[in-house]
Amino acid sequence: MTDCGCDKARADLEEYLRNEICRTEQGDIREHLDNCPSCQDEALVARTLTDAVQRACKEAAPEDVRSKVLASIRAAQATH
């Protein structure tokens, strides 16, 4: 594998963290991250943000809030 460089690693970082790139590119980025402290720091920040967003998306609204929102949507649909 060859080092892909900071620009390439940073451009594809989000896809890399979500495992949405091909194995060759994944290996190149992993190799780059292993050897570049600056990109390691950026990857840590991106991973932390990605994990926080994923956790937030799994949370459900309280049932009373959910019921009120659904009732509002149904009322709006009924008038259109």
Task: Say how far apart CA 41 and CA 63 lie, in whole Å.
Answer: 39
Q: Looking at residue 3, what is its pLDDT?
A: 54
The ranges assigned to domains in the chain are 6-78
Q: With a threshold of 0.85, does the pTM exceed it?
A: no
Reported confidence tier of residue 67, pLDDT bands at 50, 70, 90: very high
Smallest CA-to-CA distance from 13 within 52, 49, 39, 51 is with: 39
What is the pLDDT at residue 76? 93
Q: Render pLDDT for 8-48 as a digit per residue (tens, 0 to 9).
A: 899 999 999 888 999 889 999 999 999 999 999 999 999 99
- What would the CATH number be for the domain defined by 6-78? 1.10.10
pLDDT in tens, 7-18: 989 999 999 988
